[in-house]
């Protein structure tokens, strides 16, 4: 009862008797830790509303409970997963509980992103986000399910947690994008969203994150064609006034951004995102003639350094990224040959020569073309 909960919270060591019971868990199905987690969730959820700033006792208990709930979230049992995410949702009512949730994201957020990636029709992490960027994933779930057999109710609850977390969007938006590719992931989920209630959470979360980090996340959203998708979503028969309001606000935000973007801005944003695709600038000879020198000068030469970072990765699930960097470096050498030593110092020439032995045909071809640009100057005095 609320009275019992409030009286328990008056003690300095409210959580001490419960925490050892969580530590005893050897499997997610064990009854005593499950019941303990329910009791702890009730207490900590109550404290998050009655004492939003937290106190040492709750700050110590929350990460332990988060860790236990993450074992349920990682389970293959959708019922246990749902217990975890509804527990998270009850706990994330205060800024302090959301901060701690983010601080322990390897435990808390990682399993949720895994569920969302499965629902989006992709799996794994890092380079395997290829299908998110190409929009190639499709919804294949049966009635009441989406991709990977993810229950729609579970999907809704996971999205609810991410939406609650997005109220700290200004602080965590860049981190979510850098670590989890959240903009392409949520864009793909929005494309597949089967229900208005999931669409509402996706649009609202995207708005919270992007409006909190416009400089970095507006370009990321434009890259994955979110503005076009929002036009399609607007064409659906929507009835929820909150959804319509957020959709309008997000569309206006993106429209204002795309109006002011140059082709160079789009290219720079794509490189900064760390994930390249064959967007128009890469094959556009006019773009390279006009912008190659600017690429070296922009932000103290940051873009060539970023290209070196990108090509250093294996990209096992998206080899086209390697081909695109080879193409871009070849264009830079062709247009600004006097800067080729700068590229060599970044390790780009060595890495591109390695890629000449790559099994993927497109990577081999683009690396040969790039090396060919260097060979034009091989007999010149450096």
Q: pLDDT digits over 293-313, tens only?
A: 999 999 999 999 999 999 999
**Confidence grade of residue 267 (pLDDT, cut at 50, 70, 90):** very high
In percent, the amount of the chain with pLDDT more than 90 equals: 66
**What does R_g of the chain's alpha carbons equal in angstroms?**
24
Average pLDDT over residues 255-276: 88
Fold that domain 122-261 belongs to in CATH? 1.25.10
Q: Of 94, 40, 48, which is closest to residue 69 (Cα–Cα)?
A: 40
pLDDT of residue 233 exceeding 50, the answer is yes
The CATH number, out of the four listed (3.40.640.10, 3.40.50.720, 3.40.50.620, 1.25.40.150), of the domain defined by the range 263-375: 1.25.40.150
Helix (H, G, I), strand (E, B) or coil at 112: helix
Distances (CA, A) of 218 to 117, 171, 211, 237: 22, 16, 8, 26
pLDDT value at position 134? 55
Q: Do residues 272 and 306 make contact, with C-beta atoms less than 8 angstroms apart?
A: yes
- Of 39-48, 77-86, 284-293, give the lowest mean pLDDT range: 39-48
pLDDT tens digits along 320-342: 999 999 999 999 999 999 999 99
Distances (CA, A) of 103 to 33, 62, 79, 362: 24, 11, 26, 41
CA 365 to CA 357: how far, in whole Å? Answer: 10
pLDDT tens digits along 86-140: 999 999 999 999 999 999 999 999 999 999 999 998 865 444 445 555 555 555 5
CA 154 to CA 40: how far, in whole Å? Answer: 22
């Amino acid at each position: 009862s609320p009275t019992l909960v409030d009286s328990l919270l008056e003690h300095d060591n409210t959580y001490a008797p419960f925490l050892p019971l969580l530590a005893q868990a050897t499997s997610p199905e064990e009854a005593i830790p499950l019941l303990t987690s329910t009791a702890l969730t009730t207490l900590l959820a109550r404290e998050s509303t009655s004492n939003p700033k937290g106190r040492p006792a709750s700050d110590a208990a929350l990460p332990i409970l988060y860790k236990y709930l993450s074992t349920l979230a990682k389970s293959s049992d959708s019922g246990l997963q749902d217990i975890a995410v509804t527990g998270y949702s009850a706990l994330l009512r205060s800024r302090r509980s959301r901060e701690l949730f983010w601080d322990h994201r390897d435990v808390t957020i990682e399993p949720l992103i895994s569920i969302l990636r499965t629902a989006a029709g992709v799996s794994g992490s890092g380079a395997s986000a290829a299908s998110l960027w190409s929009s190639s994933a499709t919804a294949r779930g049966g009635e009441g399910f989406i991709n990977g057999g993810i229950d729609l109710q579970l999907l809704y609850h996971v999205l609810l947690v991410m939406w609650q977390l997005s109220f700290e969007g200004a602080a965590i938006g860049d981190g979510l994008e850098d670590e989890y590719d959240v903009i392409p992931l949520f864009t793909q989920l929005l494309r597949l969203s089967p229900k208005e209630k999931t669409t509402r959470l996706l649009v609202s979360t995207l708005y919270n994150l992007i409006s909190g980090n416009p400089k970095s996340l507006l370009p990321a959203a434009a890259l994955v064609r979110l503005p076009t998708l929002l036009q399609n979503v607007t064409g659906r028969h929507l009835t929820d006034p909150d959804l319509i309001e957020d959709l309008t606000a997000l569309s206006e935000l993106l429209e204002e951004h795309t109006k002011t973007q140059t082709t160079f801005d789009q290219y720079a944003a794509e490189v900064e995102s760390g994930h390249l695709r064959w967007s128009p600038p890469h094959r556009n000879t006019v773009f390279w003639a006009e912008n190659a020198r600017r690429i070296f000068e922009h932000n103290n030469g940051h873009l060539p350094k970023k290209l070196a970072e990108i090509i250093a990765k294996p990209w096992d699930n998206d080899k086209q990224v390697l081909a695109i960097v080879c193409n871009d470096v070849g264009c830079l050498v062709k247009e600004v040959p006097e800067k080729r030593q700068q590229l060599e110092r970044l390790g780009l020439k060595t890495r591109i020569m390695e890629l000449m032995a790559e099994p993927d045909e497109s990577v081999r071809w683009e690396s040969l073309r790039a090396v060919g640009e260097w060979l034009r100057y091989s007999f010149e005095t450096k």
